[in-house]
Structure 1
């Protein structure tokens, strides 16, 4: 049995798994025998990651699915595919995310950072809820960030951030949304056997911010180096893996963890009224409002 426990027979899905923290997480899960589904945006990186993970883990129960999770239709394709192939889902790691320095909108007309970093988590989790319930005891791990502390509150009057857009502000808001979602999900799933927790990976040397160009990525790396806490993807993935696999966390839900220890997140992240409002807004933005009303969603 390895560091994270024997995962033979466990079905695990990791988004953003073709590089960085997601790939390190996926490799560790595969090494412990999990049936692994990785999701990534770039087809070539998905193919290369699948080959490398099979080679390095000796586990052939590995597949990668290509999808841009800022697109709600592509999220739905992933969910339909999993429903068609697998009877349950034991672990969902919502990791795919990015920061966009320019104001962009998704194919659904939503500000890109919010669309990918929050609605991608929200929609995929709820669409896979039936399969999570079928596992009996399942875990949802949302990769958040200490950057949430820079956002005092969700701007519900301007979720698309059309007034004075700033990329760092948009990212901070999306990461606050991750925590509000995690805590609300944990409350709604209490007693169900499904747990939901959030991980803060810290400052990580990955491809993060490279989508904005080399200068933006270098600025991100330089800032992380100045903080004195820059770590590699494998180190950053340890907290994600702890939440995914640690036996002492069985049944524990609604927490925020950094370096494998539970911490308090910002006061704004515990605002239950804001969490409820975000949940309702997210249902509307993803077209799930009717399904929620008839009781099929938490």
Structure 2
């Protein structure tokens, strides 16, 4: 596979529709910008409409803005309805929006904030839009995970919402592990259809606003070392873009930066933790996610 896959490697996207969550800043913005530059019609699905409009004004191409608050199932349903009214089909759904290391809090619907935003919100959005992707050959659902899925990460079925105790690092690990388990189980269910695939990506260590809620013990040293340890958002977005557009990508694959520690570099196929491949846990998480969100996938 190409070891220097970059922005210029993105195939022509003319005639394709891409929905990118969290697209007003950071990795989501760069993902949207590069897709639009290659000809895609891009929907910036963002919580703050004003910031979304400002981001759209900085992107050349066919770009629209859609209000979407990943912490609210009502907002997710409303956004899905609006996207459905505007687009009879979708080629790419990029599940990018997320929060990291937040203090203990809940979504509008009472879910732990990181699990609810990063996993349950995207689970619901994907289920509500999937019938617009299924008829489209070559369509893809790409969900952004993190190397954090390896750090103190497990699916705590006995306390999914961290009501008994809370650790922001472990809660982030659970949410990012859930992103991968969702991708793998979704791909298993999509495989018989032969039109849509699910893949995942992670950005390595990218210099974005995402880590603003990290504990001081992590955030302060990180800020000093950032120039040495991190890469710019336009590099961090490349694994997502490769998962979304490279014709050689197969369902269930996972892409990240190509250096030895998966922190920086051009995107390549990488591996996720053994825990992420536990099929029984994937299926249990899927069932619980359907129950919590009230969203059933149109997959027979």
User: Same fold by TM (over 0.5)?
Assistant: yes
Tell me the distance in 2 between the aligned counterparts of 1:167 and 1:246: 34
Structure 2 contact 144–240 (Cα < 8 Å) conserved: yes
Report the TM-score, using the length of structure 1 for normalisation: 0.90
> Deviation at 1:152?
4.4
Tell me the distance in 2 between the aligned counterparts of 1:266 and 1:113: 20
> Deviation at 1:136?
2.6
- What is residue 289 of structure 2 aligned with on the other side? 282
> Deviation at 1:225?
3.0
Tell me the distance in 1 between the aligned counterparts of 2:153 and 2:217: 25
* Residues matched between the structures, number: 284
- What is residue 278 of structure 2 aligned with on the other side? 271
Counterpart of 2:48 (choices 39, 42, 45) is: 42
Q: How does 1:192-207 map to 2 (within 5 A)?
A: 192=193, 193-207=195-209
CA distance 1:220–1:47, change in 2 (3 Å): farther
Runs of 4+ in 1 over 2 A off after TM superposition: 212-226
Structure 2 contact 242–255 (Cα < 8 Å) conserved: no
Tell me the distance in 2 between the aligned counterparts of 1:46 and 1:67: 10
Superposed CA offset, 1:13-45 (max 9, x none): 000100000000000000001011011112221
- What is residue 71 of structure 1 aligned with on the other side? 72
SS in 1 for 2:162: coil
Superposed CA offset, 1:145-193 (max 9, x none): 0100013420001001122201111101000000100000010100321
Structure 2 contact 146–176 (Cα < 8 Å) conserved: yes
Counterpart of 1:209 (choices 205, 208, 211) is: 211
CA distance 1:99–1:83, change in 2 (3 Å): same
- What is residue 233 of structure 1 aligned with on the other side? 233
- What is residue 3 of structure 2 aligned with on the other side? none
CA distance 1:224–1:281, change in 2 (3 Å): farther
CA distance 1:224–1:115, change in 2 (3 Å): farther
Superposed CA offset, 1:225-272 (max 9, x none): 39x4301100001111111111222xx110111122222211110000
> Deviation at 1:3?
3.0
SS in 2 for 1:122: helix
5+ residue gaps, structure 2: 1-6, 258-266
5+ residue gaps, structure 1: none
Tell me the distance in 2 between the aligned counterparts of 1:219 and 1:84: 45
Q: How does 1:153-232 map to 2 (within 5 A)?
A: 153-192=154-193, 193-210=195-212, 212=213, 218-219=219-220, 221-222=222-223, 225=226, 228-232=228-232
> Deviation at 1:121?
1.3
> Deviation at 1:5?
1.3
Structure 1 contact 203–224 (Cα < 8 Å) conserved: no
SS in 2 for 1:195: strand
